Amino acid sequence: MGSVKLSQNSPLKRFINFAYRKGWFNVGRALFAKSLTVINYHRINDPHQAGFDSFLPNVSAHPKDFDLQMEYLARWFNVVSLTDVTNWLRNGKDLPPYAALITFDDGYLDNYTEAYPILRRHNFPAVIFLTHGHIGTDAPFYWDLAAYCFYHTQTDAVLFPDNTNEKWANEAQRKLISQRWIEALKILPHTEKLKWVEKLPERLNVSIPQGYFQKLMLNWDQVREMSQNGIEFGGHTLTHPILTRVSPEQAEKEIHGSKLAIERELGQEISGFAYPNGRQADVNAEVEKLTQNAGYQAAFTLQNGPTTLQEVRRNPFAIRRIFISHLHTLPRYALLTHRINRYRK
Ligand SMILES: [Zn+2]
């Protein structure tokens, strides 16, 4: 799960579109050939479909846009697999210029139903970082549970963790408040966060049908099928805590435990890990060390921008990724995957 910051600056947007049409983004590209551009997706789905009652910001792209983005990568990048990256790290086996790695976080079912057929058509490898405790279960992530409750509630107010009560007058306000509520929970200690989540259905007077969330996440048969067809899997903890907000013992369990559990299911070594949330405050040197000690070869943050190969080699446990949102147009995608993205504020 990540978060979205959108520029409302329309002259800038117009300029981006103009520069994209003129091909300016690709001037001087050869200077940046020795880089690894890692793209981060969560869900590939239609966020505007009727009855969409899960967490909207986790929709990274409509399937049609995802297809266009894959076309863009085919044209300008060499898409590599996680194994290509770890072979390069381990044995110095060359990576192609303009290497790009496609990644997905969390393990949503639409990675299988929507993204996988498109990836196959393009003949692209990808890696999906699984939150082990949610795969093949009816357990929703708290943001999807909260989104469900806010979508189906008949009430018009909610209590925030700072004990303020926020009221909405229409659907648009309710949506904003629900996203703020979910954001507000992110920074709570893990156990306190769970308490707030547990109480939410009752507070909003919503009951959840049994098995409702089973269709939101991947199951192990789907994971196994994909793993035999070019999709690799990595760890993303057992329960998705922010690792800097739990004890080192708990963090170790989450990091190492998810590696062992996925290895047991797939019968193969798991070499990559993605930090939950992955922003600057969500990863530190201690967490990186725990990840390395658990036996992973590489780990990925959500710090924005491509990484030079030199940077990856220097610290393979802090590889940057570019967070994609369904709100991004193709010109914006081109800008985000450009080296210049490292210099923007
Ligand atoms: Zn996640």
**Residues 184 and 141: beta-carbon distance below 8 Å:** no
What is the amino acid identity at position 311?
E
CA of 21 to the centre of ligand 1 (A): 34
The answer to whether residue 1 scores a pLDDT higher than 70 is no
CA of 288 to the centre of ligand 1 (A): 17
H helices within the chain, ranges in order? Answer: 10-22, 63-76, 82-91, 110, 116-122, 142-152, 171-186, 190-203, 220-227, 248-266, 285-293, 309-314, 330-336
| pLDDT (tens digit per residue) in 258-312 | 999 999 999 999 999 999 999 999 999 999 999 999 999 999 999 998 999 999 9
CA of 141 to the centre of ligand 1 (A): 9
CA of 57 to the centre of ligand 1 (A): 12
> How, if at all, do strands 99-106 and 35-41 pair?
parallel
CA of 58 to the centre of ligand 1 (A): 9
**Per-residue model confidence (pLDDT) at position 19:** 78
| pLDDT (tens digit per residue) in 95-106 | 999 999 999 999
CA of 129 to the centre of ligand 1 (A): 8
| pLDDT (tens digit per residue) in 166-202 | 999 999 999 999 999 999 998 888 889 989 999 999 9
Range from 7-11, 79-83, 329-333 carrying the lowest mean pLDDT: 7-11
**Residues 292 and 271: beta-carbon distance below 8 Å:** no
**Per-residue model confidence (pLDDT) at position 12:** 79
CA of 28 to the centre of ligand 1 (A): 34
CA of 202 to the centre of ligand 1 (A): 26
* Phi, psi dihedrals of residue 276, rounded to the nearest 5°: -55, 135
